[in-house]
Amino acid sequence: MDLNRESLGLGKSPALLLVDMIEGFTNPDCPLGCACPEVVAANKMLLETFRRQQRPVFFTSVVYHNESQARVFRDRVPALNVLTADSRWVKVDQRLSPEPGEPVIEKHWASAFRATDIDSMLRAKGVDSLVVTGLTTSGCVRATVVDGLQYDYRVVVPREAVGDRDSDAHEANLFDMHAKYADVWNLADVLTALERVS
């Protein structure tokens, strides 16, 4: 039985949050990565729209500077150990390169909110809602979406702009996020909504 839930959509001041669209996740040569050109293309469309509308854009990357950071997470998923500060894998995919003024927030755990200052950065820009994209749907995207709600942001997830190495996990997590934590919309509907609030 479906839960009753309200579609909240975007507020008056949305920001785009690209979660871990980094070489380590978009390049299948990395043990953490997968080929996802369609996800990259959807993110490019969103970036173009947010930039044209002069709305805030934030990126995240997973970066480890020493062995003590996120020790249990890295013990659980040893492939994360390739994400060192001097590695190519922690750099934003060059097809989505940040422009000046678009922060790349380093994180150690799944959520963009865990032990970062992103909430204060969003509040400083008057952001009231988030379009969350990136990789992976079942991991860092989901964790960020749940925390976005818990920090009192409306959250919208464009289904074409997120991806996962496991298609079943991808679909199950989109279903669950839409049921409880966010509006999961088609990319075209997100772009239309952005034009309406511009």
For residue range 95-139, list pLDDT tens digits in order: 999 999 999 999 999 999 999 999 999 999 999 999 999 999 999
pLDDT band (50, 70, 90) for residue 5:
confident
- Which DSSP symbol is given to 141? I
pLDDT at position 18: 98
CA nearest to 82, candidates 104, 64, 109: 64
Angle in degrees, CA 26, 88, 52, rounded to 5 = 60
User: pLDDT digit string (tens) for 170-196?
Assistant: 999 999 999 999 999 999 999 999 999
Q: Is pLDDT above 60 for 147?
A: yes
Task: Count Cβ atoms within 10 A of the Cβ of residue 169 and give its class: 0-12 exposed, 13-18 middle, 19 or more buried.
Answer: middle
- Catalytic residue among 30, 34, 36, 140, which? 140
Which of 1-10, 33-42, 49-58, 160-169 shows the lowest per-residue confidence on average (mean pLDDT)?
1-10
pLDDT at position 1: 56
Give dist(CA 190, CA 198) in Å, integer.
Answer: 12
* 140 is known as an active-site residue: yes
User: pLDDT digit string (tens) for 19-70?
Assistant: 999 999 999 999 999 999 999 999 999 999 999 999 999 999 999 999 999 9
Angle in degrees, CA 147, 152, 155, rounded to 5 = 70
Q: Sign (positive/negative) of CA torsion 141, 146, 152, 156?
A: positive
* Strand segments (E) across the chain: 14-19, 57-62, 104-107, 129-135, 154-158, 162-163, 183-185
Q: Where are the domains of the chain?
A: 14-197
Give dist(CA 34, CA 17) in Å, integer.
Answer: 20
pLDDT band (50, 70, 90) for residue 91:
very high
CATH node for 14-197: 3.40.50.850
Give dist(CA 18, CA 47) in Å, integer.
Answer: 9
Cα Rg of the chain, angstroms = 16
